[in-house]
Amino acid sequence: MATAEDLRRAALALEGTTEAPHFDRAAFKVAHIYVTLAADGLTANLMLSPDEQAHLCAADPGAFAPLPNAWGRRGATQARLAALDADGLGAALRLAWDRAGAAKRPRGR
């Protein structure tokens, strides 16, 4: 069972990640925001591709769900932290981090 502190620790361990407030949430970003943590610490919103979202939601529908709005149709995915273990949380964070940081890396790498 993952917690808000597990998410914070794992996100900040990813290279180049910073934390800052984002409305009523905590946002973690590298080149772009890749995950936000709800104020109550129960859920996080991951910025994924639609394909990544579909894969995670199909693999673990108890832990992942698309946001019910336009952001969700573009890949924004809610993660229920209590339904994830450290490995599942870390893998999801790395997907989102890699997608957000891809804009910083030169093409062809």
- Residue 23 inside a domain? The answer is yes
CATH of the domain at 60: 3.90.1150.30
Q: CB of 50 within 8 A of CB of 75? A: yes
How many angstroms separate the CA atoms of 48 and 74, rounded?
8
- Residue 108 inside a domain? The answer is no
pLDDT at residue 70, as a whole number: 97
pLDDT at residue 105, as a whole number: 56
Q: Is the pLDDT of residue 31 over 60?
A: yes
How many angstroms separate the CA atoms of 83 and 27, rounded?
21
State the DSSP code for 56: H
Give the structural domain span for 29.
Answer: 4-103
DSSP 13-48: HSTT-EEEEETTEEEEESSSEEEEE-TTSSEEEEE-
Q: Is the pTM of this model over 0.75?
A: yes
pLDDT at residue 104, as a whole number: 64
pLDDT at residue 72, as a whole number: 97
Segment 50-85, tens digit of pLDDT: 999 999 999 999 999 999 999 999 999 999 999 999
What is the tally of structural domains in the chain?
1
- Residue 63 inside a domain? The answer is yes
